[in-house]
Amino acid sequence: MSDASAATAVLKVDAMTKRFGGLTAVRELSMDVPPGALYGLIGPNGAGKTTIFNLLTGVYTPTEGSIHFKGTDVAGRKPYEITKLGVARTFQNIRLFGDMTVLENVMTAHHIRSRQVLLDAVVGTPRHRHEERETRDRAMELLKIFDLDGVANEGATSLPYGNQRRLEIARALATEPSLLLLDEPAAGMNPQESIDLMKLIGWLRDEFKLTILLVEHNMKVVMGICERIQVIDYGKCIALGTPDEIQKNPAVIEAYLGGA
């Protein structure tokens, strides 16, 4: 693989394989995600989509293959290192910090951009106070975008399901990523909420200059906003193209109708 191609793509995955014992969850998968793309990743249940996210974010290490983010090889790096490089994610099974408030959840994520030193906090220096205020203000700004500023001081898990998903996106954005991975953000939302979310995702991409990788079962959402879609089945890529191409692809139709 040439370094030039790794540099043009924000994310470049090359022949990535992940085996759990005898089970191959991801099989020689390659991806090429250009900057600013809204890239869809779809496939039947158990296809390996979440596993791909876990590989990209360092939760798992690929058994084989490489992952380049903005030209840096990140395969096998620790999740927090990858986040620092500018990759953020949400979780399919919501993972909010339950015993913390909505605001604290977002403030926590701003952590990595903080210049605070522990001693500043212990002594309570002016620098520390200033940073706290700044972190709080930024978190509130993000919450406003998601219409969550009104519940900033509520417990995170006291929110309705749909809002918890939106809070996870807000929290991910607080790490100031350039690549955002969303794992079924519309799951559990009603049709209207899904449509609103779809619009919001598109807007966020433009506003924050993001590249977005989206896993979603709601085909309306996926076909509506993604420019490029990759279809996974049994850990393998079976199709790659525009929404129109994907909808007409016989292998995809077979996987969805024949599978399930």
Partner 1 sequence: MSTTRKVLYFVVTIGVLLLLNQVFEHGVGDFQIRGYEARIVSLIGIAITLAVSLNLINGLAGQFSLGHAGFMAVGGYSATYVTVYHGQQIAGLIGSSLGEVAGAALVMPISLAVGAIAAAVAGLAVGVPSLRLKGDYLAIVTLGFGEIIRVIILNIPAVGGATGFTNTTPIANFFWIFAMAILTIVIVANIRSSTFGRALSAIREDEIAAEAMGINTTRYKVLAFVISAALAGVAGGLSGQLFANPLNPQNLNFVKSIEVIVMIVLGGIGSITGAVFGAATITILPEALRDVDRQFPGLRMVIYSLLLILLMIFRPQGLLGRKEFSVNWFRRRKAPLAPASTGGGADV
Ligand X SMILES: Nc1ncnc2c1ncn2[C@@H]1O[C@H](COP(=O)(O)OP(=O)(O)OP(=O)(O)O)[C@@H](O)[C@H]1O
Is 59 one of the binding residues for partner 1 (CB under 8 A)? yes
**Interaction of residue 91 with partner 1, rule CB under 8 A:** yes
Q: Are 98 and 155 in contact (CB under 8 A)?
A: yes
Cβ proximity to ligand X: between 40 and 86 the closer is 40
Which C-beta is closer to ligand X: that of 43 or that of 86? 43
Least gap, CB of 53 to ligand X (angstroms): 8
CB contact at 8 A, 205 and 212: yes
Q: Which of residues 28-47 bind ligand X (CB under 6 A)?
A: 43, 45-47
Q: How far is the CB of 105 from partner 1 (least distance, A)?
A: 8
The helix (run of H) or strand (run of E) holding residue 87 is strand 87-89
Q: What is the DSSP letter of 216?
A: -
Examine residue 50 and tell whether it contacts Mg ion (CB under 5 A).
yes
Among ligand X, partner 1, Mg ion, none, partner that 135 touches (CB below 5 to 8 angstroms by kind): partner 1
CA torsion sign for 253, 257, 258, 260 is: positive
**Contacts (Cβ under 8 Å, ≥6 apart) of 129:** none
Q: Which does 107 bind (CB under 5 to 8 A by kind): Mg ion, ligand X, partner 1, none?
A: partner 1
Nearest Cα neighbor of 198 from 157, 155, 243, 235 is: 243
Q: Which is nearer to ligand X, 20 or 203 (CB)?
A: 20
CA dihedral sign of residues 201, 205, 208, 211: positive
Among 1, 46, 72, 111, binds partner 1 (CB under 8 A): 111
Stretch that binds ligand X, among 3-11, 20-28, 150-158, 223-231 (CB under 6 A): 20-28
115: left (phi over 0), alpha (psi -120 to 50) or beta: alpha
Residue 71 buriedness (CB in 10 A; 0-12 / 13-18 / 19+): middle
- Show the tokens assigned to 115: 């210049």
Contacts with partner 1, residue ranges (CB under 8 A): 57-59, 78-80, 83-84, 88-89, 91, 95-100, 104, 107-109, 111-112, 114, 116, 118, 120-124, 126, 128, 131-132, 135, 171-172, 175
Q: List interacting residues with Mg ion (CB under 5 A).
A: 49-50, 92
Residues in the site for ligand X, rule: CB under 6 A? 20, 23, 25, 43, 45-51, 92
